[in-house]
């Protein structure tokens, strides 16, 4: 299960013992490095990266793409030139002159484990966390971030996170009554919700989906039963204090609920 860095191994008499399977594995290793590099490039180009991490850290993926491709190409070049040297050596019947030749061996197990991200990344269709991924309910409060200028965001441009933060700061729960709201999010319902209530929810992601946290605004909408769980919608309406899950909260009284495409950035970045 281990990779050793065996310098000058080829000068010994077992140089060709493992040639076939060993070479195959070294080529697979190279393919995994280049494959991971291309996977990162594809994520960046397609925008799929936003399904996984906070956009603020996308530069790290540029770095990863570059480093994978550099190590992969170096490894390929190494194998190619090593072969040429082998051929010469065989031809001359002189197994010398592998100066500075460093050769990492690798086991099938390590190759299999390292291929897992590539396999999952290419075979499982990429999609962001949605309503099915909510565990433990959708929060109706949001933690304050380090750099919050929520109150400078005009009310009609506020997203779910901005609104929850605005609520946090205001001790009087009725202070927002009558304010216009227009937010985008996915439909989230639980069996315990009233028949005319749903939540318009978003996941917040500070770093990557490991810290994803579902937040949402309760919405009053008579035709809620017709809305499929997880669908992305834009809700227009106004706020009115009401009871939701046993709490007094500002609730969106919807005037319009329209189905929209999933946004380019499915997560909100606190």
Partner 1 sequence: MDREARAELTRLLLIIGGLLAAIIGLFLLLNSGDPGTLIAIFSTRFLGIFIEAVPFLLLGTLVSGLIEAFLTADDIARIVPRNPVAATLVGTFMGFTFPVCECGVVPVVRRLYTKGLPVSVGVTFLLAAPVINPIVLASTATAFGFGGILIGRFVITAIVAFSVGLVFALAARPREVLRASSLNALAPVMGGSGDAPVTIGGAIALPTMTAAPRKSLVGGLREAITLAGDEFFEMGRYLIIGSLLAAAMQTVISQDLLLTLGRDPVISVVSMQALAFLLSVCSTVDSFLALAFAGTFTTGSLLAFLTFGPMVDIKSMLMFLGVFRQRVVVYLILLPLLMTLLIGIWINLNLSL
**Residue 132, interface with partner 1 (CB under 8 A)?**
yes
d(CA 86, CA 238) in angstroms, rounded, equals: 76
Beta-ladder partners of 85? none
Rounded to whole angstroms, how far apart are CA atoms 260 and 165?
A: 24
Task: Say which DSSP state 53 is in.
Answer: B
Among 120, 156, 225, 259, binds partner 1 (CB under 8 A): 120
Q: Which stretch binds partner 1 (CB under 8 A): 14-22, 115-123, 157-165, 249-257?
A: 115-123
Instruction: Tell whether residue 38 is a contact of partner 1 (CB under 8 A).
Output: no
What single DSSP character describes residue 45?
Answer: H
What is the torsion angle, in degrees rounded to the nearest 10, for the CA atoms of residue 105, residue 110, residue 112 and residue 115?
A: -90
* Neighbouring residues of 50: CB distance < 8 A, sequence distance ≥ 6: 128, 264, 265, 266, 267
Other beta carbons within 10 Å of 142 = 24
Place of tokens 């190279």: 30
| Contact (CB, 8 A) for 51 and 127 | yes
Only one of the segments 124-132, 152-160, 232-240, 254-262 lies at the binding site for partner 1 (rule: CB under 8 A); that segment is: 124-132
Quick one: which segment of 4-12, 163-171, 237-245, 246-254 binds partner 1 (CB under 8 A)?
Answer: 4-12
Q: Which of residues 223-252 bind partner 1 (CB under 8 A)?
A: none
Q: Is 50 an interacting residue with respect to partner 1 (CB under 8 A)? A: no
Tell me: does residue 269 bind partner 1 (CB under 8 A).
Answer: no
The only residue of 10, 33, 138, 165 in contact with partner 1, by rule CB under 8 A: 33
In whole angstroms, what separates CA 18 from the centre of its chain? 39
Q: Which is nearer to partner 1, 62 or 256 (CB)?
A: 62
Q: How many distinct helices (H) and strands (E) make up the chain?
A: 4, 8
Within residues 74-103, the interface with partner 1 by CB under 8 A covers: 74-75, 78, 100, 102
5: contact with partner 1 by CB under 8 A: yes
Which residues ranging from 159 to 198 are in contact with partner 1 (CB under 8 A)?
none
Q: Token digits for 132?
A: 């099915």
Contact with partner 1 (CB under 8 A) among 129, 148, 173, 175: 129
Q: CB 133: neighbour CB atoms within 10 A? A: 13
Binding site for partner 1 (CB under 8 A): 1-9, 29, 33, 36, 40, 43, 49, 51-53, 57, 60-61, 63-64, 67-68, 70-72, 74-75, 78, 100, 102, 104, 106, 109-111, 113-114, 116-117, 120-121, 124-129, 132-133, 135-136, 146, 206-213
């Amino acid at each position: 299960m281990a990779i050793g860095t065996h310098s000058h191994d080829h000068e010994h008499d077992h140089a060709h013992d493992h040639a076939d399977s060993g070479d195959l594995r070294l080529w697979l290793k190279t393919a995994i490095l280049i494959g991971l590099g291309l996977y990162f490039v594809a994520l960046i180009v397609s925008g799929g990266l936003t399904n996984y991490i906070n956009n603020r850290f996308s530069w790290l993926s540029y770095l990863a793409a570059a480093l994978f491709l550099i190590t992969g190409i170096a490894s390929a070049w190494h194998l190619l030139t090593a072969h040429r040297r082998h051929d010469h050596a065989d031809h001359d019947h002189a197994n010398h002159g592998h100066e500075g030749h460093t050769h990492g061996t690798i086991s099938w197990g390590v190759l299999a484990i390292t291929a897992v991200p590539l396999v999952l990344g290419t075979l499982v269709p990429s999609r962001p966390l949605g309503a099915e991924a909510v565990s433990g309910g959708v929060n109706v409060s949001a933690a304050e971030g380090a750099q919050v200028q929520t109150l400078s965001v005009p009310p009609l441009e506020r997203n779910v996170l901005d609104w929850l933060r605005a609520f946090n700061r205001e001790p009087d729960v009725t202070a927002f009554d009558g304010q216009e709201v227009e937010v985008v999010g996915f439909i989230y319902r639980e069996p315990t919700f009233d028949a005319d209530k749903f939540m318009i929810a978003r996941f917040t992601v500070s770093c990557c989906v490991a810290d994803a946290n579902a937040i949402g605004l309760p919405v009053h909408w008579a035709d809620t039963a017709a809305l499929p769980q997880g669908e992305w919608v834009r809700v227009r309406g106004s706020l009115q204090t009401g009871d939701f899950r046993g709490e007094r909260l500002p609730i969106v009284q919807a005037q319009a609920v329209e189905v929209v495409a999933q946004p380019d950035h499915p997560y909100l970045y606190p």
